[in-house]
């Protein structure tokens, strides 16, 4: 499907599109390469599936590359990912060696494309080592960090810092995540696409049909958490919250998620979740393929309450997805969720399974208030977390980074 920026006119209005087009006209013909570690699964891949064609629609020559590697490489990057988010996993010298060797293999394959680009945007730690391996680069290189690195394991951070310090700029989702680096650090929250299969409007009968197909009773209230089976998303804590809430409340729980090709830990967490849910007939654990966007859309629209009880979270895209569908969200009081969920306005932030149970019960008992919070959630998502806003910020960053001297104000229009 071809994407056009003008498709968003009815959702975000003329003023925003005009700004994007003015930035696009400044960058027209530039060569931009995005690099991440997977095309399937996870929030980064989802954003790039929409961001890349929209940049192309503006006349920017945009491509998307993926780093590949052996299983040990993804074990190393998973440890980097976990320990940057504060878990005490250790990146051994042997795994550091695997990371370096795999980076060199990827650099050999991608070097020509990357060195000739006007802008290279490297997403997350997995491909971060490429910059030092492209000595003849001529463009600006930007490191986009999607994860919560507010309290990283210092050894792992030093390892990554050595690889990202020479970038021209970095992007973090929140000020809390920024780390001392010798270049400008921009703050841009990630976004969802309101026109994607996962977020566009769905007919009510299709929503009901999908629930029935997955064994969920559309007549009974349903709580939902959509996310990878990852310990940071605390799926076992969600089951615990459900058990407390369901003592006195008719309720079904759906934990829906899938794996990502760069996440070797998913299977283990899934086993723990199945174990915890085994004796609970109203708990549905759905392992969905990474392209089950319509199903996720229907589940979110069919839910009475949506949870994202993360223990660490860079930015919960599933939070924004639920907000866009007018659902109040019960989110963990961590990371980017603190920017998305405004307590009592569009949902609740909680710290424990008990807190999540209490808020679930509240929302199920106060349907009118829940509806109002849902309306607030949709408006808040529209104002802040749609792909058009993120696209505008990224293009703005590319435009300002072309100028050697930093300017406080930059006129974008062609006079």
Q: Which two tokens stand for residue 251?
A: 């309720």
Q: Which two tokens stand for residue 36?
A: 């991440």
Nearer to other proteins, 306 or 381 (CB): 381
Binding mask 149-178 for other proteins (x = CB under 8 A): -----------------------x--xx-x
Q: Which two tokens stand for residue 220?
A: 């009974």
Asked whether position 15 contacts other proteins by CB under 8 A, the answer is: yes
Alpha helices in 184-343 (DSSP H): 204-213, 235-245, 266-277, 293-302, 317-324, 337-340
CA–CA dist 162, 128 (Å, integer): 10
Which one among 79, 207, 380, 391 touches other proteins, defined by CB under 8 A? 380
Binding mask 185-214 for other proteins (x = CB under 8 A): xxxx--------------------------
Binding segment toward other proteins, per CB under 8 A, in 33-41, 72-80, 353-361, 388-396: 388-396
Q: Give me the least distance between CB of 171 and other proteins, in Å please.
A: 10
Asked whether position 108 contacts other proteins by CB under 8 A, the answer is: no
Asked whether position 248 contacts other proteins by CB under 8 A, the answer is: no
Q: Which residues pair with 143 in a beta bridge?
A: 122, 170
Asked whether position 393 contacts other proteins by CB under 8 A, the answer is: yes
Interface size with other proteins, residues (CB under 8 A): 39
Asked whether position 413 contacts other proteins by CB under 8 A, the answer is: yes
- Buried b or exposed e, range 12-39, using 16+ CB within 10 angstroms: beeebbebbebbbebbeebebbbbbbbb
Nearer to other proteins, 281 or 408 (CB): 408
| Run of H or E residues at 110 | helix 93-116
Q: Give me the least distance between CB of 179 and other proteins, in Å please.
A: 8
Binding segment toward other proteins, per CB under 8 A, in 215-223, 261-269, 348-356, 389-397: 389-397
Which one among 3, 5, 23, 226 touches other proteins, defined by CB under 8 A? 23
Query: Exposed, middle or buried: residue 175 (CB in 10 Å: 0-12, 13-18, 19+)?
Result: exposed
- Buried b or exposed e, range 250-281, using 16+ CB within 10 angstroms: ebbbbbbbbbbbbbebbeebbeebeebbeeee
Q: Give me the least distance between CB of 168 and other proteins, in Å please.
A: 13
Kindly give, in sequence order, each residue whose CB lies less than 8 Å from that of residue 172, ignoring residues fewer than 6 positions away.
145, 149, 178, 185, 186, 187, 188
Please count the other Cβ atoms lying within 10 Å of the Cβ belonging to residue 209.
12
Binding segment toward other proteins, per CB under 8 A, in 79-87, 89-97, 215-223, 404-412: 404-412
The SS3 of residue 70 is coil
Asked whether position 184 contacts other proteins by CB under 8 A, the answer is: yes
CA–CA dist 311, 320 (Å, integer): 17
Asked whether position 27 contacts other proteins by CB under 8 A, the answer is: no
Binding segment toward other proteins, per CB under 8 A, in 51-59, 181-189, 314-322, 362-370: 181-189
Residues making contact with other proteins (CB under 8 A): 13, 15-16, 18-19, 22-23, 172, 175-176, 178, 180-181, 184-188, 342, 345, 376, 380, 383-384, 392-393, 396-397, 399-400, 406-413, 415
């Amino acid at each position: 499907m071809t994407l056009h920026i003008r498709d968003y006119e009815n959702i975000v209005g003329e003023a925003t599109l005009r700004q994007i087009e003015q930035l696009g006209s400044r960058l027209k013909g530039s060569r931009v390469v995005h690099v991440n570690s997977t095309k399937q699964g996870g929030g980064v891949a989802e954003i790039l599936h929409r961001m890349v064609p929209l940049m192309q629609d503006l006349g920017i020559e945009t491509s998307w590359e993926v780093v590949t590697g052996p299983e040990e490489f993804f074990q190393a990057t998973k440890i980097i990912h976990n320990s940057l988010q504060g878990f005490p996993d250790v990146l051994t010298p042997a795994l550091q060696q695997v990371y370096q060797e795999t980076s060199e293999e990827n650099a050999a394959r991608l070097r020509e494309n990357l060195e000739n680009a006007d802008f290279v945007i490297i997403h997350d730690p997995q491909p971060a080592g490429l910059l030092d391996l492209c000595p003849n680069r001529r463009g600006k290189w930007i490191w986009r960090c999607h994860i919560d690195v507010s309290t990283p394991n210092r050894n792992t951070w030093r390892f990554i810092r050595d690889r990202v310090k020479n970038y021209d700029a970095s992007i973090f989702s929140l000020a809390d995540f920024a780390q001392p680096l010798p270049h400008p650090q921009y703050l841009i929250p990630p976004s969802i696409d309101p026109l994607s299969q996962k977020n566009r409007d769905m007919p009510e009968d299709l929503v009901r049909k999908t629930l029935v197909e997955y064994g969920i009773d559309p007549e009974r209230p349903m709580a939902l958490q959509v996310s990878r089976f990852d310990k940071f998303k605390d799926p076992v804590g969600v089951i615990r919250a459900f058990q407390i809430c369901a003592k006195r409340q008719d309720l079904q729980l759906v934990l829906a998620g899938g794996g990502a090709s760069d996440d070797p830990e998913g299977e283990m967490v899934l086993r723990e979740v199945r174990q915890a849910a085994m004796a609970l007939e109203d708990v549905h654990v759905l392992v969905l393929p990474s392209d089950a966007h319509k199903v996720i859309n229907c589940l979110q629209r069919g839910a009475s309450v949506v949870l994202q009880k993360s223990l660490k979270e860079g930015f919960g895209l599933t939070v924004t997805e639920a907000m866009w569908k007018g659902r109040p969200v019960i989110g963990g009081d961590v990371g980017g969720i603190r920017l998305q969920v405004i307590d009592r306005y569009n949902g609740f932030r909680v710290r424990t399974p008990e807190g999540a149970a209490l808020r679930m019960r509240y929302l199920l008992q106060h349907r009118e208030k829940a509806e109002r919070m849902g309306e607030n959630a949709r408006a808040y998502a529209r104002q802040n977390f749609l792909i058009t806003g993120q696209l505008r910020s990224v293009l703005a960053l590319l435009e300002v980074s072309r100028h050697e001297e930093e300017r406080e104000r930059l006129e974008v229009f062609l006079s």
